């Protein structure tokens, strides 16, 4: 996770959120009016062919990452908490 305190002129790497993933991950984006427990959102997928895509989110500190289920069986589903890579 990268942060900028000067509107993108300079960036600082804060933490790795995913590592050694099977699929390519997009860069994390902060939703408008982001809350501390839902601070950045991104997806993965195969860059060379059509594939399923999973959605991920993290908290403001980048200390936890969750992945939403590929298939939802109702209006709500519990996200899976992932292990973070070692610092």
Of 66, 80, 65, 87, whose CA–CA distance to 16 is shortest? 87
Task: Kindly report the length of the chain.
Answer: 87
Determine if the pTM surpasses 0.85: no
What integer pLDDT is reported at residue 80 of this predicted model?
92
- For the chain, the domains span 1-87
CA distance 58 to 69: 15
Owner of token pair 């709500």: 76
> What pLDDT is attached to residue 14?
83
| Per-residue model confidence as pLDDT tens digits over 58-68 | 998 888 999 99
| Closest C-alpha among 44, 58, 56, 81 to residue 3 | 58
Q: How far apart are the first and last CA of the chain?
A: 12
């Amino acid at each position: 996770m990268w942060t900028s305190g000067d509107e993108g002129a300079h960036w600082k790497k804060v933490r790795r959120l995913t590592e050694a993933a099977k699929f390519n991950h997009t860069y994390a984006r902060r939703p408008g009016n982001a809350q501390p427990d839902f601070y950045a959102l991104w997806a993965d997928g195969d860059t060379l062919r059509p594939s399923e895509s999973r959605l991920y989110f993290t908290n403001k500190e980048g200390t936890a990452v969750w992945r939403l289920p590929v298939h939802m069986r109702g209006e709500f589903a519990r996200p899976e908490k992932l292990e973070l890579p070692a610092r």
